[in-house]
A and B are shown apart, each in its own frame.
Chain A
Amino acid sequence: MAILELKKVQKTFGTGRTKVEAMKETDFEAEKGELIAVIGPSGSGKSTFLTIAGGLQTPTDGEVMINGTALADLKEKKRAALRLKEVGFVLQASNLIPYLNVGQQMQLLDKVKKGNLQKEEAKELYQSLGIDHLIRNFPKDLSGGEKQRVAIAKALYTNPSIILADEPTASLDSDRAFEVMNMLKEITKEKQTATIVVTHDTRLIDDCDKVYKITDGKMELQERVYDTL
């Protein structure tokens, strides 16, 4: 069963002559252990897709299912709880909470949700992401790459079944960007999460299981060149 499923989802803004179709009718599925890239130029509808998939906004038409639960049936409070339980967002590096150190960023999640990683598991996660020596550091003391690794750790800390990453490599140099993508791939396979990475950087999609391209709100699955080789 697909963990994340979008059925005939559409999103329009405005009406009449000002109507904009941000997302044309789209079907999408993500299974456990799949790393999926969603690529497209700026303004193509990538973020609209990500926010609808993560339950941050509701589609104009169609249905979004997370682990078998239709988001349309849930009120905002329940949607937030489902997000906390099932979805790990990896947002841009600057979005870490500036007044909490790395350890406290995770502790905050313990304050609002049960069933997060156990101490040993968390330790392993920090080691695997190479941030175990940064636990007492504040975001201002971290480099761009370190911030992004902390953001990934934060997304994984709640043991989500889906990871939604919004331009996770945007503020990184090439080496760091590849490093982060490799890390996401490893996590996806190891933890059997469905990981969807929204990016405009086509160099990073080689290791992805599926690639979707969005152009003017229309989302299409891309055939992979090496698949045919």
Chain B
Amino acid sequence: MKPKGSEFMFLAWNEIRNNKLRFTLVIGVLVLISYLVFFLSGLANGLEQLNREAVDKWEADGIILTEESDLRLQQSILSKDDFDGSGVDEYTELSQLSAIASNGDKKENVYIFAVDPSSFIMPDVTEGNAFVDEGEVIADDTLKEDGFEIGDELSLSSTDETLEIVGFTDKARFNAAPVLFTDQDTLETLQYGEFAEEDSDAINAFIIRTDNLNNVEADKTLQVIDTETFIENLPGYTEQNLTLTLMIYFLFIISAVVLAIFLYVLTIQKISIFGVMKAQGISSGYLAGSVVAQTFLLSLAGVMIGLFLAVITGLFLPAAVPVAFNYIEMLIYGIILIVVSVIGALISVQTIVRIDPLKAIGG
């Protein structure tokens, strides 16, 4: 007779029910670990969005930069004539500048993107209007949360020129700073002041949409890269993600080790009980299945409570903390936590298999 999963639960669940304090402590440790995993994954996700939102908003397949730019937008200086659109479905130019913007009250590090208002990278306006005249900008709405408003006159750190916020757009942060969208002439003026050329053709990049980046025909001095590679090369982006991901992976290992130690100690304490059961003919398989079932219940409870606490925490965090929960990712991490916990229980399973029933009756 092969026991079913629910039959393994019988021994597992009754032991938990009758040793509440002991197992609450085990669940407590798992709650803390899973809470940390979920919070870190939310943080990693939030920081990731902080860096790439504006780029994701383009819904572009690739970007063309100069070969010598080292994949940095700022270091890529090229001319509108450098690319004629060969091999792409759509393309548009992008110029950018970074600056400190102030409305007289608050200061904020910003990126200024100059985009063609008729192009596919022109953001949707969620409040106010699109820029029309020189000096007008659409701002990322996180600036609104920081106290900036439509009609604010922005002075910039690197120029005497000023900008006026005429509208807001959502999800438009780049490299951890909000983006101001404007036209090419405004950006020229900000960069060169009275020496700015009208209809200048100096830009930083071409943003492209195409099915196959290999079909793009660009000059040898230019490089065509996919959007993901561009994002990964943003300063600090990969390092930051790797660090947080490494911490999460370490927490998986810690979770497995901690639970393995707890269960091993509990198993050692129960050697004589397991011995008696084995002497009576209860198979090692049933006892092992019971420990695995118990681990599953404990880790499931720990993960569920950890998840709940992380989500609740997320609701009360100030906007300044860049936490963004990706529920599918959290679900996957939760499953991984349960799986590694069960793997950790295998040490105890091995111990159970080796228990000699003879010891139970002092033979």
* A interface residues with partner B (beta carbon < 8 Å): 47-48, 50-51, 54, 56-57, 77, 80-85, 87, 89, 91-92, 95, 97-100, 104, 107-109, 111-114, 138, 154, 158, 166
For the complex of A and B, the 8 pairs showing the least CB-CB separation, nearest first, are A84-B281, A83-B281, A51-B363, A99-B18, A111-B7, A95-B276, A47-B363, A99-B15
Q: Is B222 an interface residue (CB 8 A)?
A: no
When each residue 1-23 of chain B gets 1 if its CB lies under 8 Å from chain A and 0 otherwise, what string results?
A: 10100010011001101110000
Contact B357 A56 (CB under 8 A): yes
Q: Is B361 an interface residue (CB 8 A)?
A: yes
Give complex CA distance A83, B361 in Å: 15
Q: A81-B281, A108-B282 are in contact. List 18 more A-B contacts (CB 8 A).
A: A47-B362, A51-B363, A56-B357, A56-B363, A82-B281, A83-B280, A84-B280, A89-B280, A95-B360, A97-B276, A108-B10, A108-B277, A111-B10, A111-B11, A111-B286, A112-B283, A112-B286, A138-B18
Within the complex, the shortest CB–CB distance from A71 to chain B, in Å, comes to 13
Within the complex, the shortest CB–CB distance from A136 to chain B, in Å, comes to 12
Q: Which one of A47, A97, A104 has the highest number of Cβ atoms from chain B below 10 Å of its Cβ?
A: A97
Partner of A80, one of B10, B11, B283: B283
Partner of B363, one of A57, A77, A104: A57
Give complex CA distance A97, B290 in Å: 14
Please indicate the chain A residues that have their CB under 8 angstroms from the CB of B272 in the complex: 95
Contact A108 B11 (CB under 8 A): yes
Q: Is B254 an interface residue (CB 8 A)?
A: no
Given A50-B363, A89-B280, A113-B1; A56-B286 close (CB under 8 Å): no
Q: Which of B236-293 contact A (CB under 8 A)?
A: 272-273, 276-286
Give complex CA distance A91, B18 in Å: 23
* B interface residues with partner A (beta carbon < 8 Å): 1, 3, 7, 10-11, 14-15, 17-19, 272-273, 276-286, 357-358, 360-363
Given A54-B279, A83-B280; A112-B1 close (CB under 8 Å): yes
Give complex CA distance A99, B269 in Å: 13
By secondary structure, the B interface counts as: helix
Closest to A96 in B: B276
A-B contact pairs, 15 of them (CB 8 A): A47-B363, A51-B361, A56-B279, A56-B357, A56-B363, A80-B283, A84-B281, A84-B282, A91-B361, A95-B360, A99-B18, A100-B14, A108-B10, A112-B3, A166-B361
Partner of B361, one of A47, A97, A114: A47
Within the complex, the shortest CB–CB distance from B294 to chain A, in Å, comes to 11
Give complex CA distance A87, B282 in Å: 12
Give complex CA distance A98, B10 in Å: 14
Give complex CA distance A83, B358 in Å: 13
Contact A91 B279 (CB under 8 A): yes
Contact A48 B363 (CB under 8 A): yes
Within the complex, the shortest CB–CB distance from B215 to chain A, in Å, comes to 63
Contact B279 A97 (CB under 8 A): no
Please indicate the chain B residues that have their CB under 8 angstroms from the CB of A91 in the complex: 276, 279, 360-361
Contact A83 B279 (CB under 8 A): yes
Within the complex, the shortest CB–CB distance from A227 to chain B, in Å, comes to 31
Give complex CA distance A81, B280 in Å: 9
Closest to B15 in A: A99
Contact B1 A114 (CB under 8 A): yes
Please indicate the chain A residues that have their CB under 8 angstroms from the CB of B18 in the complex: 98-100, 138
Please indicate the chain A residues that have their CB under 8 angstroms from the CB of B15 in the complex: 99
Give complex CA distance A113, B3 in Å: 9
